[in-house]
Amino acid sequence: MSERGIRIGTRSSRLAMWQTEWVAAKLRRLHPGVEIEVVPIRTLGDRDRSTSLAAMGRVGVFTKEIEDALLDGRCDVAVHSYKDLATSLPDGLVLGAVPVRADPRDALASRSGLGLDDLEPGGLVGTSSPRRRALILHRRPDLRVADLRGNLPTRLRAAGIALDEGRDPEGEPLDAVVVALAGLERLGLTEHATEILEADSFPPAPAQGALAVEIRADDHRTAGIVSALDHGPTRWATAAERAFLIAMEGGCHLPLGALAETDGDRGRLDGAVIDPDGTSAVRGSASGRDPAEVGRSLAEELLGRGAAELLCRASGDGKGDGP
């Protein structure tokens, strides 16, 4: 890092660049005397878009190279979609800030303009996420779900939704895709959302819609610069959701969802674990002051009510939860 500058590492996808430029713009306003440079980094998940995330067989396909660059000093800050981060950070790295969260819900985008309940029986819905797959089948067991990778515009095109670039993929056309609403909002594509999937019936991935600003643990100057981006309610909520995920002893490949909200010095966490084929789900909630304890408490409750068996069925799926 130069005497006055900060370098921010990020994935090179359109959505990741938007998120990072959003962080950079806020830092420039807060610290006009600090030069901010964005450093795009291609991750394994960006380089290989044909292999399924399950076949890649490792956590951090969208984050490892960026964290390596942070550790060896090629960048000073890393900006991630928080749900992409492993449940434990590498030694020497910490979260410098968790900015205010965007809408955490999922959205359906269909070629017909129909919502999930109105799609034709046997319709084909695309997603790379086992959580979304299980929730789709739980609500509509008559639908088919196809594995779909690629950035957000690519997945919209796969559902026959016309954008200014690219073309529909070969093979059977999809009737719809399920994606994160926050991604649509950030790229100005919300007009393509035909239904917003409410969290009480379609719980989002832990930390969905939130960003993680990662720094080196010993870089106190950078910590002071990024700390103003931290949003207390978002940090509490995502900490509770991630504690729930950690207590389930898994990563983003598990068919589970969670969403927390705070009210004063207390918060509430709602969570669910869904059978991979959608036939059953175990849901519950917990509340308290300590987010880590709230997350662990809910996990213990659901595990005791049958969630452990559902997670065992899912243990071989291994697909990541996409944007």
CA distance linking residue 119 with residue 142, whole number of Å? 10
- In 3D, which of 83, 3, 69, 71 has the Cα closest to residue 38? 69
- In 3D, which of 297, 307, 300 has the Cα closest to residue 269? 297
Q: Which is the catalytic residue, given 68, 76, 84, 219? A: 84
128, 118 Cβ separation under 8 angstroms:
no
Burial class (CB within 10 angstroms; exposed 0-12, middle 13-18, buried 19+) of 198: exposed
Residue 142's φ and ψ, nearest 5 degrees, are -85, -10
Where b means 16+ CB within 10 Å and e means fewer, 79-118 reads bbbbbbbebeeeeebebbbbbebbbbbbbbbbbeebebee
Q: 138: which 2 tokens?
A: 């739980």
Helix (H, G, I), strand (E, B) or coil at 286: strand
Helix (H, G, I), strand (E, B) or coil at 61: coil
CA distance linking residue 286 with residue 86, whole number of Å? 23
Catalytic residue at 164?
no
> Which active-site residues does the annotation give?
84
